[in-house]
Copies of this chain bind each other. A is one copy, B any other.
């Protein structure tokens, strides 16, 4: 996410709220622009998009003009993006973590899913790229919505979490990482984890004890949309 350049806001809930509101505003503007059928609507949605950029600038170190350029060049951000994380265990039951270069926090290996790649292949690939270890997937643990697990940024992310067994290789520091290693729940750097990762690491250890448990997903908040879409024709 955009670094804070020293303005009033600290890392944490205010910054996350601003990014969440700005992101939603941006997506609504993009949907609106897509379906707009007159110049007035286009103007309205472009103004909303400009407001979203203005809001984003509060917590993003880049100049407003650059944020605006990005937002107006990319008006197809209407859906969350998808990333994959892997909880890889060795035979001793330890979990594989990396220390991220961008912010020094510890995290599960993971990253963007790529176009034309299976989620499962992405999970194996990210472990390979970030640690040089080969793993075999052993299960799908669930979907973690970054909006609710502290991983806020410019885009709303859904994280698909896999479990895996270590197959081969000693973890190696790569150019994306500062450090890498195997951890037990006892010696794991809980206070130095990347914000979104404590929940998924805890779940992974629980799953390891009880592999029959159901996959995790954030329970519905229950805000249904209005009924404007329904006509009166009965089945």
Contact = CB atoms under 8 A, between A and B. Distances in A.
Nearest to A232: B172
A194 interface: no
Contacts of A215: 140, 215
A26 B170 CA distance: 35
A230 B174 contact: yes
A217 B120 contact: yes
Q: Is the interface of A mostly helix, strand, loop or mixed?
A: mixed
Contacts of A223: 121
A142 B143 CA distance: 10
A212 B70 CA distance: 45
A85 interface: no
Interface in A179-226: 179-181, 212, 214-215, 217-225
Contact of A172 (B23, B160, B176, B230): B230
Given A214-B140, A229-B174, A230-B132, A114 B79 contact: yes
Nearest to A182: B235
Interface stretch (A37-45, A102-110, A122-130): A122-130
Contacts of A230: 132, 172, 174
A215 B212 CA distance: 11
A115 B231 contact: no
Interface string A150-168: 0000001010101000000
Interface range for A: 35 or more
A191 to B, nearest CB: 21
A119 B218 contact: yes
A175 B227 CA distance: 12
Contact of A74 (B24, B75, B83, B114): B75
A225 B131 CA distance: 13
A96 B176 CA distance: 46
B235 A116 contact: no
Nearest to A145: B118
Nearest to A130: B229
A115 B174 contact: no
Among all A-B residue pairs, the 4 with the closest Cβ atoms? A27-B115, A24-B116, A120-B220, A74-B76
